[in-house]
Amino acid sequence: MNLSTRCFRAFPFLLLLLPVSQAQAVGNCGGPTTPVSEIQGQGDTSPLTGHRVTVEGILTFDARMEGGFSGFYLQQADDETDGNPETSEALFVYTRKKTGKPGERLRVTGTVKEFHNLTELANVRSVSTCGSAPLPKAQTLTLLWPKALESLENMRVKVAQPLTVIDSWNLSRYGELTLAAGDQVVPTEYSEPGPKAAQIANRNRQQRLLLDDARGVRNPNPIPWPPGGLYGKSRKHTVRSGDKINQLTGILDYRFGAWRIQPQKQPVFEPANTRSPAPTRPAEPHVRVMTMNLENYFNGDGKGEGFPTTRGAPTAQALELQLQRLVAAMRRPDPDILAVTELENDGYSNTSAIAQLARALGPKWNFIKTPGADGSDEIRTGLLYRRDRIVAETQAERLNSGPFRKRGRPPLAQTFRPKDQRLSVQVVVPHLKSKSCRGAKGNNRDRNDGQGCYADRRTNAAHALVEWVGKLPQIPDLTGTLITGDLNSYFRETPLQVLQRAGFTSMMHHFYPCTAQQCEQYTYRYKGEKGSLDYALASAPLKDRVLDAQVWAINADEPPALGYKNNLPGTTTSPWRSSDHNPLITDIQL
């Protein structure tokens, strides 16, 4: 029987049929209250902040479980709303009092408070039950703009269309996935740096929603998404950026600076961005160059000790997992030459990181040495090659002047020739300064144009790189130069413009142009946006010899939780999440 407040008002004798404690609770119901819509108001903050109020509504979601938010969500019944679509009809009630469960009408007295922009009822003096009641109808959410979300704060909602997973950085840390109407592309991937790019980036950030787990604990165990677990060999146990989420219904919440949904039932995960095999090699005779950021490959002392390392593996076990995954990633595309970045700068002895990597790849692999010229940074660039297929011609060179004289990572240049062939190609591997703002001063500070910090330093390095490449020794039968590595710049940013004006073409963008609506080839994801930081730039003479330049999407879309440092139970030594950058594969016909 539905013991609603109206029923007791019409038939007060029913109170005699209830236990004394429940009769007293119901007797408190139905008196004067403040409508929730008046508490919420039409703005971002409540007009009644600091006021003590009494409200009645239906408990829609209980977050008082262990590790929860210490409260519950209370929403007006459908026939008690003010009919104004600009005011919310629900509140979060912050209390540890245990009274009430979902589907019950409650009468609550407390003080209105804004907690980090969430309107809530705190300092709760009393909570009384008023009988069972149907849950309010879930409102359809069609827009992800803050104004549209504010009017539905704390209410039951259902999302009208499938949403796309664009970030999983906090999946293992806080049980969160970042969602949007579709994949978001870094603005400077397709638009020049400046106010317009900054405006697009801000718009991207505004149009997002988090899928949460209704808990405030760090490192939740088990990881809540996808339903059934994150681990395992089966595709259904992994969520990748680009996947879709359907049938999302729950409470629209605002916490920790972001709008989020606390789901009332399990949403449906659709694997829209499935893992793909390594690109097959072309039928034409060619040289395959694979470019990969190793995500700080450090091997301790090279003898099983020396952990944790300063930038890489924290344990010998983590190093073993990292090495196995890197080798799996590097072997499957069957490259002839490997251009790597974020490699430990520890010389070329048998215990060095590059020597260990070459041994793990197999006896047919060799590496380029430039002792004394690698700079003082903890990491360097490197080149490895199949000595049964490729010959290293002339002496390797590094740029140690200009921007690379005292700091930075000196670019590496080496000319290679396929065995039993006449023509050769020059490969140059740079790794420019990151966008991190630590220590940035003067012109290297963030100019709010979409390029991040140290854009000036990267631009100067690009100029120096062009000048240096133009002066490198030219041997007979050289087909051209491939500059390939991590430039820490998106395609329309200034360093890339410098290189393009000098006659170097980004072959990946040549074959697969990137727009705001479609960007299939990318090497990196950062804070929900995707784009390319890694490049294969062909000189004019080499351009027409490039058959293809494509990304193998094994890393950037995978949850960071699957990375080598975490070593989560059930993860395998596959190529997936072997690094944080996707490798770039370039096929050159010589």
Residues 95 and 179 in one domain: no
Residue 2 located in a structural domain: no
How many domains, the chain?
3
580 neighbors 295 (Cβ within 8 angstroms): yes
Count of alpha carbons within 13 Å of 165, Cβ hemisphere only?
A: 32
In angstroms, the Cα distances linking 210 to 71, 141, 229 are 20, 14, 18
Q: Positive or negative, the Cα torsion across 430, 436, 440, 444? A: positive
Phi then psi for residue 29, to 5 deg, are: -85, 155
Residue 554 located in a structural domain: yes
Look at residues 136, 158, 184 and tell me which one is the last residue of a structural domain: 136
**CB neighbours of 319 closer than 8 A, spacing ≥ 6?**
298, 299, 300, 307, 309, 312, 313, 564
Residue 569, pLDDT score: 66
CA 225 to chain centre: 15
Residue 231, pLDDT score: 66
Residue 552 located in a structural domain: yes
Residues 149 and 119 in one domain: no
217 neighbors 225 (Cβ within 8 angstroms): no
Residues 237 and 383 in one domain: no
In angstroms, the CA 88 to CA 79 distance is 14
Residues 545 and 580 in one domain: yes
Residue 20, pLDDT score: 32
CATH (domain of 108): 2.40.50.200
Residue 128 located in a structural domain: yes
Residues 383 and 470 in one domain: yes
Edge-first strand listing for the sheet containing 209-211: 139-141, 156-159, 249-255, 258-263, 209-211, 177-180, 163-167, 244-246, 268-270
Look at residues 110, 136, 162 and tell me which one is the last residue of a structural domain: 136
CATH (domain of 520): 3.60.10.10
Residue 236, pLDDT score: 55
Picking from 292, 301, 456, the residue whose alpha carbon sits closest to that of residue 361 is 292
Residue 1 located in a structural domain: no
Pick left, alpha or beta for residue 548 (phi over 0 → left; psi -120 to 50 → alpha; otherwise beta).
Answer: beta
Residue 502 located in a structural domain: yes
Residues 562 and 413 in one domain: yes
Look at residues 102, 136, 170 and tell me which one is the last residue of a structural domain: 136
173 neighbors 254 (Cβ within 8 angstroms): no
The identity of residue 317, as a single letter, is Q
Phi then psi for residue 433, to 5 deg, are: -60, 140
Q: What is the CA radius of gyration of the chain?
A: 29
Which structural domain, as residue segments, surrounds residue 233?
A: 140-270
In angstroms, the CA 88 to CA 105 distance is 18
Residues 527 and 471 in one domain: yes
Phi then psi for residue 255, to 5 deg, are: -145, 150
Residues 173 and 306 in one domain: no
245 neighbors 224 (Cβ within 8 angstroms): no
Residue 73, pLDDT score: 98
DSSP lists the bridge partners of residue 391 as: 417
In angstroms, the Cα distances linking 222 to 135, 338, 366, 574 are 29, 38, 43, 22
Q: Could you report how far apart the first and last alpha carbons of the chain are, in Å?
A: 83
Residues 581 and 517 in one domain: yes
Residue 331 located in a structural domain: yes
Residues 441 and 427 in one domain: yes
User: Angle at CA 150, nearest 5°, toward 147 and 152?
Assistant: 120
Residues 154 and 131 in one domain: no
Q: What is the pLDDT along the chain (590 residues), one digit of tens a residue?
A: 333 333 333 333 333 343 333 333 444 899 999 999 999 999 889 999 999 999 999 999 999 999 999 999 999 999 999 999 999 999 999 999 999 999 999 999 999 999 998 999 999 999 999 999 999 999 999 989 888 899 999 999 999 999 999 999 999 999 999 999 999 999 999 999 999 999 999 999 999 999 999 999 999 988 999 988 776 555 456 899 999 999 999 999 999 999 999 999 999 999 999 999 999 999 999 999 999 999 999 999 999 999 999 999 999 999 999 999 999 999 999 999 999 999 999 999 999 999 999 999 999 999 999 999 999 999 999 999 999 999 999 999 999 999 999 888 999 999 999 999 999 999 999 999 999 999 999 999 999 999 999 999 999 999 999 999 999 988 999 999 999 999 999 999 999 999 999 999 999 999 999 999 999 999 999 999 999 999 999 999 999 999 999 999 999 999 999 999 987 766 666 899 999 999 999 999 99
Residues 328 and 363 in one domain: yes
Residue 3 located in a structural domain: no
CB atoms within 10 A of CB 467: 13
Phi then psi for residue 482, to 5 deg, are: -115, 115
CATH (domain of 157): 2.40.50
Picking from 554, 523, 557, 545, the residue whose alpha carbon sits closest to that of residue 333 is 554
**CB neighbours of 488 closer than 8 A, spacing ≥ 6?**
431, 432, 433, 434, 435, 458, 533
